[in-house]
Amino acid sequence: MRISDFLPVFAALIAGLILSLAGAAIGARVIEGTSTKAVENQLVMRGYDWVDVQGDGLQIVLTGTAPDEQTQLAAQRAAGHVVDPSRVINVMNVVQQEDIPAPRFSIEMLRNDSGISLIGLVPSGWDREGFIEALKRASGTGSVADLLEQADYPVPENWGDATEFGRTAIGLLPRAKISIAADGITLTALADSKDQKVTFERALIRALPDTLPVAIDVAAPRPVITPFTVRFIIDETGPRFDACVAETPSGHARILAAAKAAGIENPTCTIGLGSPTSQWASAVETGMRALQELGQGSITYSDGDVSLIAAEGTSASLFDRVVGELEADLPATFTLHSSLPQTETETEEETRPEFIVIRSPEGQTQLRGRIADERSQAATEALAKAAFGSQSVYSAMRVDDSLPEGWSLRAMASIEALAQLNRGSATMTEDLVTVRGETGNENARAEIASLLSAKLGDGEQFTIDVSYVRKLDPVLNLPTPQECVDRANQRIAANKIVFDPGSIELNAAANETLDQIAAALEDCEDIEMEIGAHSDSQGGEVMNLNLSTQRANSVLDGLLMRRVAGVSFTAQGYGESQPIADNDTEEGREANRRIEFKLLNAEEPETATPQDEAQQETSEEPQGENAAPEADAATTEGADAAPEDDGETEE
């Protein structure tokens, strides 16, 4: 057979081979292009539009610059969801992370009669011990409470000038609060007189640094006090003042010296205007010595009236001698009223009438006990409604026409005294008014003493057991725990804490939001608050839980660095377990990625517990239109706050 006979066959085979190779090449190009396009679409949809996707045969090469390693790996995993992960070649770079910005260093310096306290955050490279020793030398006191914390960052510019001015000022001012930082200083202080105020201000101006702003506020309050009142008591707990005022700085020093001699460790007394005589301090000192001779009892000065009441069981001969000497020693402008109570028998104590006013923490007020007549009952109820609110008064008084003269006036004085407190009780008997409770007014004890001494008359006994509670002080206007939680959630509702994809690090925007939250919580005190982080359902459940926990801890660390001293934070990650929107939509997933603040250990409001009146009011019935069921305890404020927030959660 000739060769020419095989040529067509060979040509057909060669043509088929060429066509096969061309088809394979075209198929590979189609697969490469399709895979590349699919990976590009997936990465853009996931937010990784910075990735450059290139096809190399069956391989997919990823290039570009990722913001961090976690985001780089997340982009690689996203590409692996489209093609076989073994075909994905990762040659992406990672941006060099910036250093965490230094916190704002500051010191709160407080000085009063008890010493000096330092609170704040300082750089670890600063000479903290040397500063404290300089404070001790400048102020002449060895009592410096060091509550400072430190962070390992460079000492900021102007920090030395700020602390030097703080040391100078705290040594000059016996009662002051100084807030020092590298960007400014705020100073508030009290002076005993206008002359002293001018002296302080001149000295502070001379010490002002040139490198930073300073705000100075020195006050010299001299309140007008009426009636001018001192109430000095010695009982089984020791000596104390219920109220104390002095007319001049020298008189103030004289009364305080007498109080220390009597055994009061840290006596306080207000310098005010309104003294009935220039011999006020001398008269008070004389009365205090007289009471010390008796051993126990009380002496009350109300303008020119003086009431000396000895304790039960005091020797009559001792009482007569002390009273006689006190009458002779008091200036002529004072009138002395003295009383030696007789010991009551047990039977008399059981049957003696009482009038009781109780004010609960929820604001409900109860009137119980006996009242002289129906007219006095109506007047007493009207006064209570005016003082406490018409809807909050429950009246359960019983009319008793055998009560002693002046009973109704004393009952009204008890109501007025209790109105000075946020919660508590006033109990009145024939010869004693007892006021107990809590208040946000530091001067409430003195005001109650002045009121009762004026209303009850000369020689009448009363006791005051009142505690000042800082969080109740309306002047400070401290927020409630729930208000603090709401403040935090309002800040993140306005400026969401958004993490970079796959990251647990706080970015610049998140740090700015945390600054706002820290400022909003500055006045909050004794609050436990949870930082809850939530994610959407994309990615694995365990990974989302771990990521949300790490992000909650990042927020916690950020707030701790900002020295939110009054709040105790707890970090909690919830992952995808508590969605608030549909995870099938981008809007819903965005809503589910959030940070929430929640109140922990919210206190249940106390329920008023009236004193048992059964012994004397077994047949008592509520009278008049004001009779009403006792107020229920208020429910606890909702602990959860729901403003949504947080950052991106990545698979």
| pLDDT of 495 over the 70 cut | yes
Question: Which one is predicted more confidently, 28 or 269?
Answer: 269
Question: Which one is predicted more confidently, 651 or 419?
Answer: 419
In CATH, the number for domain 106-219 is 3.40.1520.20
Q: What is the mean pLDDT of residues 573-589?
A: 90
Tell me how many degrees the CA angle 561-563-569 measures, rounded to the nearest 5.
Answer: 85
pLDDT tens-place string over residues 220-241: 766 778 889 999 999 999 999 9
Q: What is the pLDDT of residue 614?
A: 37
pLDDT tens-place string over residues 502-526: 778 888 888 889 999 998 888 888 8
In CATH, the number for domain 478-651 is 3.30.1330.60
pLDDT tens-place string over residues 45-69: 888 888 888 887 778 888 988 888 8
* One-letter identity of residue 350: E
Fold of 229-339: hypothetical protein tt1634 (3.40.1520)
| pLDDT of 199 over the 80 cut | yes
State the CB neighbour count (10 A cutoff) for residue 401: 9
Minimum mean pLDDT among 123-127, 273-277, 613-617: which range? Answer: 613-617
Minimum mean pLDDT among 21-30, 206-215, 464-473: which range? Answer: 21-30
Q: What is the pLDDT of residue 442?
A: 82
Question: How many angstroms separate the CA atoms of 51 and 504, rounded?
Answer: 21
* One-letter identity of residue 637: E
Neighbouring C-alpha atoms within 13 Å toward the C-beta of 71: 24
Name the burial class of residue 244, with classes exposed (0-12), middle (13-18) and buried (19+) by CB atoms within 10 angstroms of its CB.
buried
Q: What is the mean pLDDT of residues 485-491?
A: 91
In this chain, the answer to whether the domains covering 106-219 and 229-339 adopt an identical fold is: yes
State the CB neighbour count (10 A cutoff) for residue 233: 20
How far is residue 467 from each of residues 37, 55, 167, measured CA to CA in Å? 74, 78, 33
| pLDDT of 212 over the 90 cut | no
| pLDDT of 138 over the 60 cut | yes
Minimum mean pLDDT among 439-448, 466-475, 594-603: which range? Answer: 466-475
pTM: 0.47
Cα–Cα nearest to 79, from 44, 43, 126? 43
Mutual angle of helices 481-494 and 508-520, in 10-degree steps? 150
Q: Which CATH class is domain 346-472?
A: alpha beta
Confidence of residue 643 (pLDDT cuts 50, 70, 90): very low
| pLDDT of 302 over the 70 cut | yes
| pLDDT of 163 over the 90 cut | yes
Question: How many angstroms separate the CA atoms of 122 and 149, rounded?
Answer: 6
How far is residue 482 from each of residues 390, 423, 487, 496, 635, measured CA to CA in Å? 27, 20, 9, 20, 13
Question: How many angstroms separate the CA atoms of 32 and 550, rounded?
Answer: 39
Q: What is the pLDDT of residue 638?
A: 32
pLDDT tens-place string over residues 176-192: 999 999 899 999 988 87
Q: What is the pLDDT of residue 253?
A: 92
Question: In the chain, where are the structural domains located?
Answer: 27-94, 106-219, 229-339, 346-472, 478-651
pLDDT tens-place string over residues 81-97: 888 888 888 888 887 65
Confidence of residue 100 (pLDDT cuts 50, 70, 90): low
103 cis-preceded (ω within 30 degrees of 0):
no
Mean pLDDT of the chain: 82
Tokens of 357: 């006013």
Q: What is the pLDDT of residue 10?
A: 66
Alpha carbon 189 to its chain centroid, in Å, reads 22
Q: What is the pLDDT of residue 608?
A: 40
Sheet holding 423-428, edge to edge: 393-399, 365-371, 355-359, 423-428, 432-439, 461-468
The residue behind tokens 């101006």 is: 205
Confidence of residue 436 (pLDDT cuts 50, 70, 90): very high
Question: How many angstroms separate the CA atoms of 414 and 370, rounded?
Answer: 13
Neighbouring C-alpha atoms within 13 Å toward the C-beta of 615: 10
b vs e for 177-194, b when ≥16 Cβ sit within 10 Å of the residue's Cβ? bbbbbbeebebebbbbee
Confidence of residue 283 (pLDDT cuts 50, 70, 90): very high
Pairing mode, if any, of strands 229-235 and 238-243? antiparallel
pLDDT tens-place string over residues 5-34: 666 666 666 766 666 655 555 555 666 777
For 27-94, the fitting CATH number among 3.30.1340.30, 3.90.1200.10, 3.50.50.60, 3.40.640.10 is 3.30.1340.30
The H-assigned helical ranges of 295-369 are 316-329, 346-351
Minimum mean pLDDT among 100-104, 531-535, 601-605, 632-636: which range? Answer: 632-636
